[in-house]
Amino acid sequence: MGIIKAVCTSEKTGMRKKNIDEGLLVQEHGLLGDAHAGEWHRQVSLLAMESINKMRALGLDVGPGDFAENLTTEGIDLVNLPIGTRLKIGQEVIGEVTQIGKVCHTHCAIYYQAGDCVMPKEGIFIRVLNGGKVKVNDEIREIS
Which CATH number does the domain housing residue 20 bear? 2.40.33.20
Tell me, what's the pLDDT at 112? 47
Contact 51, 122 (CB under 8 A): yes
Tell me the whole-structure pTM to 2 decimals: 0.90
SS3 assignment, position 1: coil
Res. 81: pLDDT tops 80: yes
Q: Which structural domain range is residue 42 located in?
A: 2-143
Cα torsion 66, 69, 73, 74: sign: negative
SS3 assignment, position 54: helix
Number of domains in the chain: 1
Q: What is the mean pLDDT of the chain?
A: 89
